[in-house]
Structure 1
Amino acid sequence: MTARSASKTAVGDTFGPVTVPVGRETLVAYADASGDQNPIHQDEEFARSVGLPDVIAHGMWTLGAAGSAVSEWAGGADRVVEFGTRFTKPVVVPSDGAEVVVGGVVKAVDAESGRATVDVSVTAAGAKVLGRCTAVVQLA
């Protein structure tokens, strides 16, 4: 993977949209890996009993999906030096699966540090699911 260069990165540059599929099997695998076995992520009946429309993706899975898209754009996970967000809406995952769509816009480039600040947009079913999502990446 080639790192994104400072000479080829400018304010207003965009990436995406990157579509990341998520199915119930993904949620089970993530629950097993993370240890987060909350039934709202795997049991449709339970999720509905607590007022959710269906099973929902783990918030940290959603953040990870967005982070993967950013790191791919930047040229590797080691290029992402800061990444933060607010969780604004859950990703609902019906039995036939869902998609998370990630994109970004470069908001600042610091020539001295060689870093770019990127506003990241993350949506599912047309709704914004992460807010104030910002990444800082180290440019080559």
Structure 2
Amino acid sequence: MSSISAGEVLPELTVTFRREDLVRYAGASGDFNPIHWNDRMAAALGLPGVIAHGMLTMATAVRVVTDWLDDPADLVEYGVRFTKPIVVPDDADGAEVTFSAKADKVADGLAEFDITAVFNGEKVLGRSRAVVRVS
């Protein structure tokens, strides 16, 4: 098991989402909503462009914690609130998102982490919290 103290910060994780990632995720998840691949449809719904799947963002965000764990199965609880979309342009650069995590509470063999996801200088997740088993 991993050990940590309250207030410690885990190493950041920076991920670039590209359109091809959205297509792969759509195939794996079955979520073929056109807002995740079609600019015209995204605009018709008032979005600023094609956006990353929320569940893809959520799964990627928790990696900042699970990559640190000795065993990713030590993740016992995880939840997020989506606050802003990640707009993924149709270019080679994609959308770069930086994830960070800070241990908030550590007690009774559990650590609670607050996870932050930043895209274009703004937080894109609200309350994002992971609870993990630690030593």
Settle same-fold status: TM greater than 0.5: yes
Identify which range, 128-137 or 69-78, moves more after superposition: 69-78
Say if 2:97 is the partner of 1:107: no
- Deviation, 1:56, is 0.1
Q: CA RMSD in A?
A: 1.1
- Deviation, 1:48, is 1.3
User: Which stretches in structure 1 are left out of the alignment for 5+ residues?
Assistant: none
**Count of aligned residue pairs for this structure pair:** 133
Report the TM-score when normalising by structure 1.
0.90
* 8 Å Cα contact 2:42-2:48 kept in structure 1: yes
- Deviation, 1:16, is 2.9
What residue in structure 2 maps to residue 136 of structure 1? 131
Structure with greater strand percent: 1
- Deviation, 1:75, is 2.5
Identify which range, 101-110 or 74-83, moves more after superposition: 74-83
Say if 2:44 is the partner of 1:46: no
Match of 1:79 among 61, 65, 74: 74
Match of 1:4 among 2, 11, 14: 2
What residue in structure 2 maps to residue 31 of structure 1? 26
Report the TM-score when normalising by structure 2.
0.93
The secondary structure found in structure 2 opposite 1:130 is coil
* 8 Å Cα contact 2:12-2:64 kept in structure 1: no
Q: Deviations over 1:80-113 (max 9, x none)?
A: 1111111111111011210121101111111x3x
- Deviation, 1:51, is 1.0
The secondary structure found in structure 2 opposite 1:78 is helix
Q: Deviations over 1:42-62 (max 9, x none)?
A: 011211121111100000000
The secondary structure found in structure 2 opposite 1:95 is coil
Counterpart residue type for residue 95 of structure 1:
D
* 8 Å Cα contact 2:79-2:130 kept in structure 1: yes
- Deviation, 1:76, is 3.0
Q: Deviations over 1:66-86 (max 9, x none)?
A: 122210122232011111111
Say if 2:58 is the partner of 1:63: yes
Q: Deviations over 1:20-52 (max 9, x none)?
A: 111000000000110100000001121112111
User: Which stretches in structure 2 are left out of the alignment for 5+ residues?
Assistant: none
The secondary structure found in structure 1 opposite 2:89 is coil
What residue in structure 2 maps to residue 17 of structure 1? 12
